[in-house]
A and B are shown apart, each in its own frame.
Chain A
């Protein structure tokens, strides 16, 4: 039988899915064991048990100086920045996407500009953001907004343009004004795409968040990682990395479920 026609059974599929995780874990353990055997105080690849201990400490024990459990505070502030940034970008993406997709005048005015603007590397203008908005929350949120909004606008406006022209004509023959077409024909069909595009841009959003936090902050997941880097605290860094990954995964999963539930008509497209 051809390879392309050979499919794993259910148990095998599950095992195969777990396999890469096991492989990475095993490789890490072997590397760590080897280094610790040579030098028991090696900090580069701490033993897995050390990481688990550290994780437990980070999640449950308050900081000696401030009396707060820092990891939770870091998480809360980072998620807040992320939510604000992606939320604003999503709203902007929707508004501009609808305008560009539906209105020829807006399209002529904006689509070229957005294409050029999306080529600006966001991290390169981070210093400008710090200068303009200061080192507070605004500049971090703005970096996320500027980083992902051009992509959202381009993606969503294209989705509006992809709506079959027949539907737009049909709506007009039912007496719909431009506003009604935007509100009742384009917007609802855009929502699943919005969630999809936000899912795709969450990766970059995390990147911009951590970058901004690493450079100028006193709280946040990215700040913490770059802070403890100075002490080579690999156990802390790894705990944070795994925690961030988990957060990102859960957010992605939740968005996917939301789209499935909220837009039953969109079928398997998600």
Chain B
């Protein structure tokens, strides 16, 4: 059953098409990696999923709902940078996921204790309990991204969008973050879209790897053709397809 339906999306800025004819559907709980050359429109695609922009044509539906017109609580996002609020402590950043939804952005006094306990549990889970009272500038890049992911997940979005979330991290921290993300995913069963420049990362984490590229090449003006999904790899089982046997092998087939 398709959870996210992307139906014939076109996006252009002015006369310049960036994306064209992008269609796919994604099941609930799938992890989609998105790769492609720099500037081909991956972030644009994510912005469309986020409803930060509207496509010039086509529509995106989550769970059959009408297309969203602005970002909201059902979509979570982590960018490569600037995803956490620098003026809030680590604790307040996680609490923001609960308090921002209120009328004035502050939790009522009686709800505060419970929220703090939940936030502390989240911080424990993402390994930042010791840093609860620090400001994000005091955290390393990996810790900031962990906080950003924890913050996004606290709001329990329906889909999580990651734009090169580990792009600015060193290889060791990156590997730790992979484990961290895999575990969280196991726990939450979240539907994830992740843009990455690292093919290995894409195949390692994703169930599917979507490749964005221009489908044709116009020799006179390469810019008049937008990118689309040119490959859709099955990335489960280390990217080797047909490893899961679909038939029941222990049943006697009638001759």
- Residues on A with C-beta less than 8 A from B84 are 170
CB 8 Å contact bits of A150-177 with B (1 = contact, 0 = none)? 0000000000000010110111111111
- Residues on B with C-beta less than 8 A from A265 are 86-88, 135-137
Most buried by A among B84, B96, B99: B96
Q: Kindly state the separation between the CA atoms of A255 and B101 in the bound complex, as whole angstroms.
A: 34
CB 8 Å contact bits of B71-94 with A (1 = contact, 0 = none)? 111011101011111111000000
Q: Kindly state the separation between the CA atoms of A179 and B101 in the bound complex, as whole angstroms.
A: 11
Q: Kindly state the separation between the CA atoms of A93 and B136 in the bound complex, as whole angstroms.
A: 28
B151 within 8 A of A: yes
Could you list 5 further interchain pairs (A-B, Cβ under 8 angstroms) beyond the known A164-B82, A265-B136? Answer: A167-B85, A170-B79, A175-B155, A184-B106, A263-B87
A172 in contact with B81 (CB, 8 Å) = no
State the B residues within 8 Å of A (CB). 50, 52, 70-73, 75-77, 79, 81-88, 96-97, 99-106, 135-137, 148, 151-152, 155, 157
Interface size on A, as a range, is 20 to 34
B71 in contact with A183 (CB, 8 Å) = no
A247 within 8 A of B: no
A188 within 8 A of B: yes
Q: Kindly state the separation between the CA atoms of A242 and B136 in the bound complex, as whole angstroms.
A: 43
Chain A interface, DSSP helix/strand/loop, else mixed: helix
- Residues on A with C-beta less than 8 A from B83 are 166-167, 170
B157 in contact with A173 (CB, 8 Å) = yes
B105 in contact with A173 (CB, 8 Å) = no
A172 in contact with B104 (CB, 8 Å) = no
Contact A174:B96 (CB < 8 A) given known A180-B105, A263-B87, A265-B86: yes
Chain B interface, DSSP helix/strand/loop, else mixed: loop
A188 in contact with B72 (CB, 8 Å) = no
A51 within 8 A of B: no
B137 in contact with A175 (CB, 8 Å) = no
CB distance from B45 to the nearest CB of A (A): 15
- Residues on A with C-beta less than 8 A from B135 are 264-265
A138 within 8 A of B: no
Q: Kindly state the separation between the CA atoms of A86 and B152 in the bound complex, as whole angstroms.
A: 40
- Residues on A with C-beta less than 8 A from B101 are 174-176
B105 in contact with A167 (CB, 8 Å) = no
A54 within 8 A of B: no
Closest residue of A by beta carbon distance from B75: A173
- Residues on A with C-beta less than 8 A from B103 are 177, 179-180
Q: Kindly state the separation between the CA atoms of A137 and B148 in the bound complex, as whole angstroms.
A: 51
- Residues on A with C-beta less than 8 A from B152 are 170, 173
CB distance from B15 to the nearest CB of A (A): 23
A185 within 8 A of B: yes
Q: Kindly state the separation between the CA atoms of A189 and B82 in the bound complex, as whole angstroms.
A: 13
- Residues on B with C-beta less than 8 A from A170 are 77, 79, 83-85, 148, 151-152
A267 within 8 A of B: yes
Most buried by A among B75, B105, B137: B105
- Residues on A with C-beta less than 8 A from B73 are 173-175
Contact A175:B100 (CB < 8 A) given known A169-B77, A263-B87: yes
- Residues on B with C-beta less than 8 A from A188 are 87-88
Contact A173:B102 (CB < 8 A) given known A184-B96, A188-B87: no
CB distance from A46 to the nearest CB of B (A): 52
Q: Kindly state the separation between the CA atoms of A212 and B103 in the bound complex, as whole angstroms.
A: 44
Closest residue of A by beta carbon distance from B81: A166
- Residues on A with C-beta less than 8 A from B100 are 171, 174-176, 180, 184
B85 in contact with A185 (CB, 8 Å) = yes
Q: Kindly state the separation between the CA atoms of A170 and B147 in the bound complex, as whole angstroms.
A: 13
Contact A176:B75 (CB < 8 A) given known A167-B85, A184-B100, A264-B135: no
- Residues on B with C-beta less than 8 A from A166 are 79, 81-83
